A and B are shown apart, each in its own frame.
Chain A
Amino acid sequence: DAGVIQSPRHEVTEMGQEVTLRCKPISGHDYLFWYRQTMMRGLELLIYFNNNVPIDDSGMPEDRFSAKMPNASFSTLKIQPSEPRDSAVYFCASKRAMNTEAFFGQGTRLTVV
């Protein structure tokens, strides 16, 4: 298995632009997570899905952030409009079942200028 695949690896965009981050979870994994990593706040859960359904989005910072999972093999995290304070590394992770460990993608480093 190729693991969790995220794209792009790096994204540089101007403030106000829309940004879409993509994730392909490991096949057969029922849970998908979006995390954000910054120096100031460490790793934070933004949202997670179970069987393509959003379960907990309490970590989504504000309405500018949205996430979708249209099918079991694809998820997107969208920021519109983007702001410089959104600059961070965004990780996608998936896991097979509730009591199993999560596997992380390599992350997308977002820079908003």
Chain B
Amino acid sequence: AQSVAQPEDQVNVAEGNPLTVKCTYSVSGNPYLFWYVQYPNRGLQFLLKYITGDNLVKGSYGFEAEFNKSQTSFHLKKPSALVSDSALYFCAVRDPGGNNLFFGTGTRLTVIP
């Protein structure tokens, strides 16, 4: 069975500091991993994905994520946080043979001015 875990419900970071939102996954076979962001009263917006290739994936709005197979992790990172990055972030995994995305419980990121 496929699943992702986001161990932190809430992450607070000061504006300008680097941010990390954690995600670990469990999947049989090669994982297809995604990060989405949800702003208040909005749908989910795609940030980036890992299918294959380089372990460091670059996405929208300056975000990047590092795929680590040995640690089964796919942490989301940004070198310098903006107040506008404050939102709910979801990690998701899809197995290669299916189409369903299994979402984590979400991490609320708050960037403090």
Contact = CB atoms under 8 A, between A and B. Distances in A.
Contact of A55 (B44, B46, B90, B99): B99
B80 interface: no
B100 A56 contact: yes
A69 to B, nearest CB: 15
A52 B32 CA distance: 24
B105 A42 contact: yes
Interface of A is mostly: strand
Interface in B9-53: 32, 34, 36, 41-46, 49, 51
A106 B100 contact: no
A42 B46 contact: no
A113 interface: no
B101 interface: yes
A102 B46 contact: yes
For A93, A98, A101, A104, the residue with the greatest tally of chain B CB atoms inside 10 Å of its CB is A101
A79 interface: no
B1 to A, nearest CB: 13
Given A42-B105, A43-B90, A99-B51, A91 B44 contact: yes
Interface in A49-89: 50, 55-56
Given A48-B99, A102-B46, 20 more contacts: A4-B43, A33-B99, A33-B101, A42-B105, A42-B106, A43-B44, A43-B90, A48-B100, A55-B99, A56-B99, A91-B44, A93-B43, A98-B99, A99-B32, A99-B51, A102-B101, A104-B36, A106-B42, A106-B43, A107-B43
Interface of A: 4, 31, 33, 42-43, 45, 48, 50, 55-56, 91, 93, 98-99, 101-107
